[in-house]
Amino acid sequence: MSRYRVIAVLAALLMLSGGCLSYYLIHPDRDPVGVTTWTEDVTRGPLRMHLEWAQPSGAGPFPTVIVHPPGGKVAADMKGVGRDLAQHGYLAVAVDYRRLIDGEFRRNAFAWRESSDPVAALGVVRAQPRVGGGRIAALGFSQGGIYSLLMSAHSPEIKAVMAYYPVTNFRMWFDTERDSPGFRVAFRLIEWYFRRESGATSEAEFEEMLRRASPMTYVESIRAPVLLIHGADDTSAPVEESRRLERALRDRGRNVELIVVPGVGHTFNFRQPEEARRAWDATLDWLRKYLSPP
């Protein structure tokens, strides 16, 4: 990739994200009293996972929340979210992934490529004795929301999902009509970047990778209660992405709720404290309802 194209893609991603983010906007920026944290690195075949754990006081076992960060971010960026969950009695573990490509473990837009990848972190979590069996949830933001939905689709062990502003159908996301010329250019650049990251050798292979990366592909398999949280003014992943999944799940009799937050865009919960707090309260309520009170 040329230097100028790298800069263009980064500029496009920054424009869509809505600017700088504060991961400690409403979450603790240091370990609260009684909360224990540690890190772990685990390799499963071509997938390397970095895990950031946060444990509440006590011996456990604890209801557990797997946390996935936004695209381009890492598990360490979710330390505040993990500490917050631990303060509320949950064992939290944030996870990021690197894929073995050309002999190196690299961050990649398509880190998950094999059927075992969506449950790889779940296997690590399950082996932790402090994890309460049958009480595991998945929480994610943007790309992390996609990962959390896919994890649920691939494993009935996930008992609740909280997905903030996910893309649910990548092909429809790329093909959405956009009024702004700047956004049209940005999405062309991002699609080019995805195609490059995929390593696909044909258009058919790339489309299949997009299909497998889209939660809508697995709507029949998503059976855990799903909470979707989306900004009404999101220009990165329009709110229709969540509406589409909500309709499909509701039509199948699934337990799903969509909260549309007025006047905010993508990653609002790391930029706007009042709206962030309301969304976080709804997240904690969902956990209390479906993961058993800690």
CA 286 to chain CA centroid, Å, is 16
Q: How many domains is the chain built from?
A: 1
User: Comparing C-alpha atoms, which of 251, 250, 253, 258 is closest to residue 228?
Assistant: 258
pLDDT for residue 15: 45
pLDDT for residue 4: 41
User: Comparing C-alpha atoms, which of 278, 152, 116, 142 is closest to residue 226?
Assistant: 152
pLDDT top residue among 178 and 271: 271
Establish how many alpha carbons lie within 13 A of residue 22's alpha carbon, considering only the half-sphere containing its beta carbon. Answer: 10
Q: What is the mean pLDDT of residues 207-219?
A: 97
pLDDT for residue 24: 97
User: What separation in angstroms does the CA of 69 have from each of 66, 76, 80, 236?
Assistant: 10, 9, 11, 16
User: What distance in Å separates the CA atoms of residue 181 and residue 116, rounded to the nearest whole number?
Assistant: 40
User: What distance in Å separates the CA atoms of residue 149 and residue 147, rounded to the nearest whole number?
Assistant: 5
Dump pLDDT digits (tens) for 250-286: 999 999 999 999 999 999 999 999 999 999 999 999 9
pTM of the model: 0.93
pLDDT for residue 134: 84
User: What separation in angstroms does the CA of 147 have from each of 70, 152, 161, 185, 289?
Assistant: 10, 9, 10, 26, 22
Which residue segment(s) compose the domain that 80 sits in? 3-290
Pick the range with the lowest mean pLDDT from 1-10, 17-26, 261-270.
1-10
Q: Domain of 58: which CATH number?
A: 3.40.50.1820
Q: What is the mean pLDDT of residues 236-254?
A: 97
Cβ density class 123-147: b for 16+ within 10 Å, e for less: ebbeebebbbeebbbbbbbbbbbbb
DSSP state of 78: G
pLDDT for residue 19: 62
Helix (H, G, I), strand (E, B) or coil at 234: coil
Given the structure tokens 């224990």, which residue do they identify?
36
DSSP state of 33: T
pLDDT for residue 3: 47
Q: Cis omega (within 30 of 0) on the bond before 61?
A: yes
Given the structure tokens 């990366």, which residue do they identify?
213
DSSP H or E stretch at residue 244 = helix 240-251
